[in-house]
Structure formats: structure tokens, C-alpha cells
Amino acid sequence: MSAFPPEVEVAIARTREEVSQLHAELVRNGLVVWTGGNISGRVPGADAFVIKPSGVSYDDLSPENMIVCDLDGVIVANTPGSEREPSSDTAAHAYVYRNMPDVGGVVHTHSPYATAWAARGEAIPCVITAMADEFGGEIPVGPFAIIGDDSIGHGIVDTLTGHRSRAVLMQNHGPFTIGHSPRDAVKAAVMVEDAARTVQLARAGGQTIAIPQDAIDALFHRYQNDYGQDAQRSMA
């Protein structure tokens, strides 16, 4: 079971470290309270991902208590942390990794503004250039689905497949984001809350101005190709 080849063991150790540390960004950006929210990361070169344990305080997370699961969401036996329960959203993460091979990281939060849009079942319209840059248009809503089977994962994959957005607002629930790496998915979780907040504030004060579609396209294209120190790659 845990008899991974040595190079996979190294990849698992790196992913544990990365996923554990990234949780601090959820706290720093005000996206989570108490033990809510979770991050996972695909292990490069293996049919496995690393995810947060369930109901553990953010202060107590460490690389060692992250949990390794296979792509069915089953804990890999005899690995550090395997005696614990993984995040209650593990099935949804697993479904995404099984069905979206380019996804390297998944994040879920109940960040307040994004969850407010989710409670209305309302997509966030693209009225700020930062949304055009990051999400290429509106941030869509996924179906109402409750924990217990594949329905959350199904809703995420159905909504985001072929969509520019790396974020989906699951109705009455909250945002799930994907990325080519765990860090990229965390960035999307930060940016979806920022967009949800800014657009709600904008609309609360009066009529917003739409951005023309060709400008949205130009902004998205430029940002995906020219921003930052390396070429960025869109998930879409």
C-alpha cells in the first residue's frame, strides 16, 4: 500500500509540506473560521492526493497530519495521518481529480461574500477588470448538492469543464476553486472572495457598468499569457 516508489515518496512529502503551509493563506485572507475550509493537492506522478484532516484547528496543521488518499478518496493505509479522518469534502476533491486531469489543486471555503452569492444562487457578473484577468468573465453557480455522494464533485466538474473560471459557487454552500497547482487554487479562492466582495459593494451603491466582451477577452488573454514572472497557464 504505502510501498510507493522512492520518487513518489519524495513527491508526497513535498505535497504534504505545500498543502499544509498553504492553509495559512486561508486564515491570513479571512476566508475561513474555526476548522472550516480545506485544501488538497495532487501528488505529481501518482494516482493520489494530499488533503487536510477533518475538524483540526488551523494552528495544529502540519505536514505529518495531512492525509494521503487515492483518486477514489480512500485513505492510503500505513501512511502518516492514515489513522485520522480526512476532510468531510474528500469525496468532492477526489471526484475532481478523477475527472479533470489538468487540475493539481482544489480549495473549498465558506468565505462570506462568495457564500452570500451562493445563497442567492447568483453568478458574479464581470464588472471589474480583475475578474476579467483572473476568471475571464462571470463566476458561475453550481447546483445545490449535499455531502454524502458524488453530487458535489459532479456539480463542480460539470460547471467548470470548458469554463474559463477556476471558481464555482456551489448553491447555498460556498466556493470551490481549482488550479494547476494547490497554490494556484488558493489564489483563485482569494480572488473569488475579493471579486464577490467588490461586486456586491459596487451593486449596493447603484448601477454597475458592464465591461464589453471583447475587452474581457483581451484582458483574460493577456493575463493568462503575460502576467507574472513565468508564462501562466489557464485551466480552461
Residue ranges in contact with a second copy by CB under 8 A? 29, 33-36, 53-56, 84-85, 88, 110, 112-113, 115-122, 127-130, 144, 146-148, 171-174, 187, 190-191, 194, 197-209, 211, 215, 218-219, 222-223, 226-229
User: Cα-atom radius of gyration of the chain, to the nearest Å?
Assistant: 17
Closest to a second copy by CB, 27 vs 236, is: 27
* The three grid cell numbers given for residue 144, joined into one nine-digit string: 445545490
Burial code of 201-218, b = ≥16 C-beta within 10 A, e = fewer? eeeeeeeeeebeeeebee
CB of 227 to a second copy, least distance (A): 6
Q: Which is nearer to a second copy, 9 or 200 (CB)?
A: 200
Residue 235 C-beta: closest distance to a second copy, Å: 17
Our measurement of the distance from residue 86's CA atom to the centroid of its chain's CA atoms, rounded to an integer in Å, reads 16
Number of residues that make up the chain: 236
* Cα 192 to Cα 142: distance, rounded to the nearest angstrom: 14
The least CB distance from residue 153 to a second copy, in Å, is 15
Q: How far is the CB of 122 from a second copy (least distance, A)?
A: 7
Nearer CB in complex with a second copy: 43/79: 79
Nearer CB in complex with a second copy: 3/207: 207
* Alpha helices, H only, the chain: 6-28, 90-99, 112-120, 129-135, 151-160, 182-204, 213-226
Residue among 42 and 52 whose Cβ is closer to a second copy = 52
Compute the distance between CA of residue 180 and CA of residue 61 in angstroms, rounded to an integer. 23
Of the pair 4, 113, the CB lying nearest a second copy is at 113
Taking the complex as a whole, the smallest distance from the CB of residue 193 to a second copy amounts, in Å, to: 8
Cα angle value 136/137/140 (rounded, 5°): 115
> CB neighbours of 9 closer than 8 A, spacing ≥ 6?
none
The C-alpha atoms of residue 119 and residue 172 are separated, in whole angstroms, by 4
> Smallest gap, in angstroms, from Cβ of residue 140 to a second copy?
16
